[in-house]
Amino acid sequence: MNLRSISLALTAFLLTACGGSDDEMTVTKDISLNVSAVVGAASVACGELTDVLVGTGNEGNGSAPDIKDFRLYVSEIQVATDSGEFVDLELTPNDWQHDNVALLDFEDATSSCASGTSATNTTIDGTLEGLSSDEYTRVRFTIGVPEALNHLDRTTAVSPLNIDGMTWSWAGGYKHMRLDVDGWNIHLGTTGCSLDDNNDNLDCSSARPNRPVYTFENIDTESSAIVFDYAALVEDSDITTDAGGAPGCMSGAADPECAALFTNLGLDVTTGECASEGCDSQNWVRFE
């Protein structure tokens, strides 16, 4: 199937409409957001994308990424009208969604993605409660597993928080996002957790959260979808060269390859919070 097709299905069903007065009409909408992942003009697919050149490698001409993994968690998904309050999208519990966290999975374990899972997931399903039937034009979400869920015991966590490839043992949490190409890996996750005063429990209060929050406005919710564009993300990176630290960027604040990447994520590489220009200074995620 063509993942590039940026169709959105934001399907709304009026399930109930009742209430004491017109002002307090209670409405439940089923919402299904489609998501796609692209590398510039091409869909993300396992194996080498020979027709696409990305980044600054090859003397500035860019290089063809050989995709090995492409998975990310999204959470805290909200929508709003032009002027209204943001309302939580309650994610429907299923194998891909738990406690309002969804795993998006664009690798199918074929070819160079052989370490992954064959199943893929390109939709977010949920419900909006207590709404009028207004059209929503703004969408906001976070990339990453929220702090409250980020340190679950992986031996007992449920899907999709029990997938070994997305756990991050050394940092005591999950990989919020894992975009690996051959020789250059992006592992975004919370770093810098320490132990509490009694040296016994994880304390991430002064960690680098590395969870970008993106807000999109003027969205035509009837005809567009969320698009993650790897080419835009690595536009200022050379994915053919390990400049130091881990090959690519594993969220190390001192890793030379993280600086440009974090800028494009809209994050401050030192604090792990949104950059001073805001997380929305990013341009690699868009609605189309």
Partner 1 sequence: MSVPAKDVTRRTGYVLNNRFVLNKPASFLIILLLLLSGCRESSFDSNLEQNVDDASLLRLSAQGGFVLPAIPEENPISDAKITLGRHLFYDTRLSGNETQSCESCHEQALAFTDGKALPQGSMGHTLVLNSQTLTNVAYNGSYTWWNPILIRMEDQLFIPMTGDDPVELGINDANTQAVLQRFRDDDNYQSLFSQAFPDDSDPFSLVNVNFALASFTRSLISDRSAFDKGEMSESARRGEALFFSEKMECFHCHNGFNFSSSTVTENTRFPERVFFNNGLYNLNSNGSYPDAIQGKFKVTNDWNDMGAFRPPTLRNIELTAPYMHDGSIATLGEVLDMYAAGGRNIESGEFSGDGRLNPFKSDFVSGFEMTPEEKQDLLNFLFSLTDNEFITDPRFSNPFPSELSE
- Residue that has been written with the tokens 């519990």 in this structure: 93
Rounded distance, CA 90 to CA 32, Å? Answer: 11
Q: To 5 degrees, how large is the angle CA 9–CA 11–CA 14?
A: 180
Q: Is 205 in the site for partner 1 (CB under 8 A)?
A: no
Footprint (CB under 8 A) of partner 1, residues 139-198: 153-156, 163-165, 167, 169-172, 185, 191-195, 198
Our finding on whether 202 is near partner 1 (CB under 8 A) is yes
The minimum distance between CB 25 and partner 1, in angstroms, equals 45
Q: What's the closest the beta carbon of residue 27 comes to partner 1, in angstroms?
A: 39
Among 116, 144, 160, 189, binds partner 1 (CB under 8 A): 116
Check binding of 2 to partner 1 (CB under 8 A).
Answer: no
Site for partner 1 in 217-276 (CB under 8 A): 244-246, 250, 252-254
Buried b (16+ CB within 10 A) or exposed e, 265-284: bbbbbebbebbeeebbebeb
CA distance 224 to 128: 18
> How many Å apart are CA 288 and CA 6, to the nearest integer?
6
Pick the closer one to partner 1 by CB: 59 or 164: 164
- Backbone dihedral angles phi then psi of residue 89, each to the nearest 5 degrees: -85, 120
Residues that bind partner 1 (CB under 8 A): 109, 114-118, 153-156, 163-165, 167, 169-172, 185, 191-195, 198-200, 202, 208, 244-246, 250, 252-254
